[in-house]
Amino acid sequence: MSVNFNDRDTLPDTIKPISYDISIYDIELGGNFTYQGTVSILATVVRASKEIVLNSHQIKIHSAEVQLERTKTQQTLTASEISYDAPRQRVTLSFLEEIPLAKAVIVLKFEGIINNDMAGFYRSKYKPTVTPASSVPKDGEHHVMFSTQFESCDARRAFPCFDEPNLKATFDFQIELPEDQVALSNMPEKAVKKGADGFKVVSFERTPVMSTYLLAWAVGDFEWIEDFTKRTYGGKHLPVRVYTTKGSLPALAVQYN
């Protein structure tokens, strides 16, 4: 059976992303489990247009602008309209001026929900075996941790993006979380900064060029077990960690060994 890939409902070919810089903050630890975010997307404009179409699902965009680098100045275009196509999981940013052929930075401020659907940025319930960190939120009788599942096309549930596997880019990620919890992502931790009272901001190294569905992060009351590879890579034995919620480490250690 042959497949006609021209029948796929793909995004317009006006923009090619190069890199994403994602920041997640103001997470509501309970209640509606909302969060705020900012994503800056460095992209190449390959066809001039007054519109930019991205994937977005169950995300509310507060503001959208495009920053263009001129010879000696920077021009900023602010979206005059933000419209959603829920069935197609898209958002269209409309501008009064045409966006020229150039490199541009698309800056979006948005709000999302840490859902209970095991897709996008979601929460997982568990019953701790030891007293959890004081900041760990509860959902009913259970405590919760936060994690992501973006395959195959659910990155758009967590942040607005060009959520197609061939539109690859690099990703810089940072997240604000309680000081007594742990944040994980694809890459090693780059820096930890003090945030608001009782919070910290953790940033991670830039990823290789990859599809949106490969990006991942998690936040929770975690502990880990660690070992090192027997083979060396670049003259070094690489560390390998397995993370679990606190209190599960003894059972995990038995399985790991």
Confidence (pLDDT) at 71: 59
User: What pLDDT does residue 187 have?
Assistant: 96
Evaluate if residue 1 carries a pLDDT over 50.
Answer: no
- What's the mean per-residue pLDDT of the chain? 93
The CA-atom distances, in angstroms, between 61 and each of 23, 74, 99, 109 are 14, 23, 20, 6
Phi first, then psi: what are they for 4, rounded to 5°? -95, 100
Q: What is the CA radius of gyration of the chain?
A: 20
The yes-or-no verdict on residue 171 having pLDDT over 50 is yes
The per-residue pLDDT for 256 is: 44
For 226-231, the CB contacts below 8 A with 24+ separation are 227/256
Q: Give the per-residue pLDDT at 8.
A: 72
Q: Domain limits of the chain?
A: 8-220, 221-257
**What CATH superfamily classification does 8-220 receive?**
tricorn interacting facor f3 domain (2.60.40.1730)
* pLDDT at 250 exceeding the cut of 90: no
Q: What is the mean pLDDT of residues 190-208?
A: 96
Q: What is the mean pLDDT of residues 225-241?
A: 93
| Banded pLDDT at 143 (limits 50, 70, 90) | very high
Cα distances (angstroms) measured from residue 69 to each of 15, 21, 77, 148, 199: 16, 18, 11, 34, 35
| Band (105; pLDDT cuts 50, 70, 90) | very high
Joined tokens for residue 84: 């959603």
